[in-house]
Protein backbone atom coordinates (compact mmCIF):
# COMPACT_ATOMS: atom_id res chain seq x y z
CA UNK A 1 0.00 0.00 0.00
CA UNK A 2 2.96 2.36 0.51
CA UNK A 3 3.68 2.61 -3.23
CA UNK A 4 -0.01 3.18 -3.99
CA UNK A 5 -0.27 5.76 -1.22
CA UNK A 6 2.74 7.73 -2.49
CA UNK A 7 1.48 7.67 -6.07
CA UNK A 8 -2.07 8.57 -5.09
CA UNK A 9 -0.80 11.51 -3.04
CA UNK A 10 1.39 12.62 -5.96
CA UNK A 11 -1.64 12.69 -8.26
CA UNK A 12 -3.73 14.68 -5.77
CA UNK A 13 -5.74 11.95 -4.05
CA UNK A 14 -6.36 13.20 -0.52
CA UNK A 15 -6.93 11.40 2.79
CA UNK A 16 -10.68 10.72 2.55
CA UNK A 17 -10.53 9.32 -0.98
CA UNK A 18 -7.36 7.40 -0.13
CA UNK A 19 -9.12 5.75 2.84
CA UNK A 20 -11.99 4.76 0.53
CA UNK A 21 -9.55 3.21 -1.96
CA UNK A 22 -7.64 1.50 0.86
CA UNK A 23 -10.86 -0.08 2.13
CA UNK A 24 -11.53 -1.29 -1.43
CA UNK A 25 -8.09 -2.94 -1.65
CA UNK A 26 -7.86 -4.56 1.79
CA UNK A 27 -9.71 -7.56 3.15
CA UNK A 28 -10.64 -8.86 -0.33
CA UNK A 29 -11.45 -12.51 -0.92
CA UNK A 30 -11.66 -14.48 -4.12
CA UNK A 31 -12.71 -17.90 -5.32
CA UNK A 32 -13.14 -19.69 -8.61
CA UNK A 33 -16.56 -20.95 -9.71
CA UNK A 34 -16.82 -23.61 -12.38
CA UNK A 35 -20.18 -24.17 -14.01
CA UNK A 36 -20.77 -27.90 -13.98
CA UNK A 37 -22.19 -29.43 -17.16
CA UNK A 38 -22.56 -32.82 -15.46
CA UNK A 39 -24.80 -31.73 -12.59
CA UNK A 40 -26.91 -28.78 -11.57
CA UNK A 41 -24.36 -27.77 -8.91
CA UNK A 42 -21.44 -25.45 -9.48
CA UNK A 43 -17.95 -26.30 -8.24
CA UNK A 44 -16.28 -23.75 -5.92
CA UNK A 45 -12.62 -23.42 -5.00
CA UNK A 46 -11.45 -22.59 -1.50
CA UNK A 47 -11.74 -18.92 -0.65
CA UNK A 48 -8.42 -17.08 -0.72
CA UNK A 49 -7.27 -13.60 0.18
CA UNK A 50 -5.73 -10.99 -2.11
CA UNK A 51 -2.96 -9.02 -0.45
CA UNK A 52 -1.52 -7.06 -3.39
CA UNK A 53 -4.02 -7.14 -6.19
CA UNK A 54 -7.07 -5.39 -7.54
CA UNK A 55 -10.04 -7.43 -8.68
CA UNK A 56 -10.34 -7.63 -12.43
CA UNK A 57 -13.46 -6.35 -14.11
CA UNK A 58 -14.01 -3.33 -11.88
CA UNK A 59 -13.67 0.20 -13.27
CA UNK A 60 -11.81 1.33 -10.16
CA UNK A 61 -9.30 -1.49 -10.70
CA UNK A 62 -8.52 -0.23 -14.21
CA UNK A 63 -8.14 3.33 -12.97
CA UNK A 64 -5.80 2.26 -10.15
CA UNK A 65 -3.74 0.20 -12.59
CA UNK A 66 -3.33 3.22 -14.89
CA UNK A 67 -2.28 5.38 -11.93
CA UNK A 68 0.15 2.68 -10.82
CA UNK A 69 1.95 2.44 -14.18
CA UNK A 70 1.63 6.08 -15.22
CA UNK A 71 5.30 6.80 -14.48
CA UNK A 72 6.62 3.70 -16.28
CA UNK A 73 7.35 5.77 -19.39
CA UNK A 74 9.92 7.80 -17.41
CA UNK A 75 12.26 4.78 -17.53
CA UNK A 76 12.86 5.15 -21.26
CA UNK A 77 15.60 7.30 -22.78
CA UNK A 78 15.95 9.24 -26.06
CA UNK A 79 16.60 6.02 -28.00
CA UNK A 80 13.92 3.91 -26.31
CA UNK A 81 10.17 4.22 -26.55
CA UNK A 82 7.61 2.33 -24.48
CA UNK A 83 4.19 1.57 -25.96
CA UNK A 84 1.57 0.55 -23.41
CA UNK A 85 -1.72 -1.14 -24.24
CA UNK A 86 -3.76 -2.44 -21.32
CA UNK A 87 -1.24 -4.53 -19.34
CA UNK A 88 1.06 -5.23 -22.30
CA UNK A 89 4.21 -3.23 -22.91
CA UNK A 90 6.34 -3.01 -26.04
CA UNK A 91 9.81 -1.51 -26.08
CA UNK A 92 11.30 0.04 -29.22
CA UNK A 93 15.01 0.89 -29.29
CA UNK A 94 16.46 2.74 -32.26
CA UNK A 95 20.13 3.30 -33.00
CA UNK A 96 22.40 3.61 -36.01
CA UNK A 97 24.79 0.80 -35.03
CA UNK A 98 24.80 -2.53 -33.21
CA UNK A 99 27.16 -1.46 -30.41
CA UNK A 100 24.81 1.36 -29.38
CA UNK A 101 21.85 -1.01 -29.71
CA UNK A 102 23.42 -3.39 -27.20
CA UNK A 103 24.33 -0.59 -24.78
CA UNK A 104 20.90 1.08 -25.03
CA UNK A 105 19.10 -2.23 -24.59
CA UNK A 106 21.08 -3.09 -21.45
CA UNK A 107 20.67 0.42 -20.00
CA UNK A 108 16.93 0.51 -20.74
CA UNK A 109 16.38 -2.92 -19.18
CA UNK A 110 18.31 -1.83 -16.07
CA UNK A 111 16.04 1.23 -15.78
CA UNK A 112 12.92 -0.91 -16.32
CA UNK A 113 14.01 -3.47 -13.72
CA UNK A 114 14.70 -0.67 -11.24
CA UNK A 115 11.16 0.68 -11.85
CA UNK A 116 9.64 -2.80 -11.47
CA UNK A 117 11.53 -3.42 -8.22
CA UNK A 118 10.63 -0.04 -6.72
CA UNK A 119 6.96 -0.68 -7.60
CA UNK A 120 6.98 -4.20 -6.13
CA UNK A 121 6.47 -5.82 -9.53
CA UNK A 122 8.40 -8.30 -11.65
CA UNK A 123 8.37 -8.49 -15.44
CA UNK A 124 7.03 -11.63 -17.06
CA UNK A 125 9.40 -11.89 -20.01
CA UNK A 126 8.64 -15.53 -20.74
CA UNK A 127 5.14 -14.52 -21.81
CA UNK A 128 5.25 -13.70 -25.52
CA UNK A 129 8.61 -11.95 -25.43
CA UNK A 130 9.84 -11.29 -28.95
CA UNK A 131 12.74 -9.52 -30.51
CA UNK A 132 12.48 -8.08 -34.01
CA UNK A 133 15.52 -6.55 -35.69
CA UNK A 134 14.70 -4.14 -38.50
CA UNK A 135 17.72 -3.46 -40.69
CA UNK A 136 18.75 -2.25 -44.10
CA UNK A 137 19.93 -4.66 -46.79
CA UNK A 138 23.62 -3.98 -46.11
CA UNK A 139 23.43 -4.15 -42.31
CA UNK A 140 25.16 -7.06 -40.56
CA UNK A 141 23.04 -9.81 -39.04
CA UNK A 142 22.47 -9.33 -35.33
CA UNK A 143 22.91 -12.37 -33.09
CA UNK A 144 21.33 -11.56 -29.72
CA UNK A 145 20.70 -13.79 -26.74
CA UNK A 146 18.06 -13.15 -24.08
CA UNK A 147 20.29 -12.41 -21.09
CA UNK A 148 17.54 -11.66 -18.58
CA UNK A 149 16.74 -14.25 -15.93
CA UNK A 150 13.63 -13.68 -13.83
CA UNK A 151 14.91 -14.57 -10.34
Whole-prediction pTM: 0.64
- Which of the four pLDDT bands, split at 50, 70 and 90, describes residue 149? very low
Domain ranges, ordered by start, for the chain: 1-69, 71-151
Rounded to 5°, angle at Cα 83 from 131 and 125? 45
pLDDT at residue 136 in the model:
75
- pLDDT-derived band at 145, boundaries 50, 70, 90: low
Mind giving me the DSSP string for 88-108? EEEEEE--SSHHHHHHHHHHH
- Distance separating alpha carbons of residues 89 and 86, to the nearest angstrom: 8
Percent of the chain with pLDDT over 70: 75
- Above 80 in pLDDT, residue 28? no
Which comes out higher in pLDDT, residue 150 or 60? 60
Residues present in the chain in total:
151
- Burial class from Cβ neighbours inside 10 Å (0-12, 13-18, 19+) for residue 4 reads buried
- Compute the average pLDDT of residues 114-128: 79
Tens digit of pLDDT for each residue in 54-96? 666 667 777 888 888 888 878 777 888 888 877 677 888 888 8
What's the whole-number mean pLDDT along residues 26-30? 75
Amino acid sequence: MVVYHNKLQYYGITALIYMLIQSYLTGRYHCVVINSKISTHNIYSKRGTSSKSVSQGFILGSLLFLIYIKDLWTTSNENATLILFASDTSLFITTSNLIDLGKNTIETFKQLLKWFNSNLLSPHLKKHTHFIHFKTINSPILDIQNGYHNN
